[in-house]
Amino acid sequence: MADPRHARPQDSQDRPPQPTPPQPRQGSPRTPTPPAPGPTAQAASAPERPAEPEPTAWIGWVMFAGLTMIVVGGFQAVMGLVSIFNTDFYLIIANKLAVPADYTTWGWTHLIMGGVVAVIGVALMAGTTWGRVAGVVVAALQAIVNFAWFPAYPLWAIIVIVVDILVIYALAVHGGEMKTYNARRDSRRI
């Protein structure tokens, strides 16, 4: 049985196929070259593209990334405060860490990083581009710092590293949609 996509209509089976006349090329001596379209012709023929990406269901991942960065930044700061004020809390002594340093130094590192991560999370929720870029960079740095911190507090380090990986994924894939989402949400309020 013949493929129906290649079947000819019934009335054309009785006539022989007609050859298609060759089309002259633009700019050939037989046809004049049409004038270049002006700004009005270009504006009328060019389809309008949205300035920002359309929000999709993935916007939830971006919100998750922003809120998670705020929460994880706060937890990271608390972990830093614990390290500064109670060095006996952790499982091993400081010189057995992946990067040998005293707990006070690690505490200040975690406290500062936690504050920065929380501020970037707020910028992500606002839909800023710098927040998206900084979010990917800081989440990667935070994952590396927690990898070095792993021997001192393994369970927490694993949790923070996994969350950082999810944040990086959400921001890299659909981070630009947050600005459009915020603009539409704000226009509905008015």
- How confident is the model at residue 167, as a pLDDT? 79
Determine the Cα–Cα distance for residues 113 and 107; give it in Å rounded to an integer.
Answer: 10
> Is 139 exposed, middle or buried (CB count within 10 Å of its CB: 0-12, 13-18, 19+)?
buried
Task: Between 29 and 180, name the one with better pLDDT.
Answer: 180
Average pLDDT estimate for 21-36:
56
Task: Give yes or no for a contact between 76 and 38, defined as CB atoms under 8 angstroms apart.
Answer: no
- Answer yes or no: is pLDDT of 95 > 80: no
The pLDDT tens digits for 55-92 are 776 678 788 888 988 998 898 899 889 888 877 766 56
* Angle between helix 154-174 and 59-85 (nearest 10): 150
Q: Which of 184, 48, 180 lies closest to 127 in space, CA to CA?
A: 180
Q: Is the pLDDT of residue 3 over 70?
A: no
Tell me which residue of 135, 112, 129 sits closest to 66, measured CA to CA. 135
Residue 131 has pLDDT above 80, yes or no: yes
Cα–Cα distance measured from residue 105 to residue 114, given in angstroms and rounded to the nearest whole number: 14
Distance CA 169, CA 65 (A): 9
Q: Distance of CA 133 to CAs 10, 15, 78, 168, 188, Å?
A: 61, 65, 25, 10, 28
Backbone angles phi, psi at 175, to 5 degrees: -65, -30
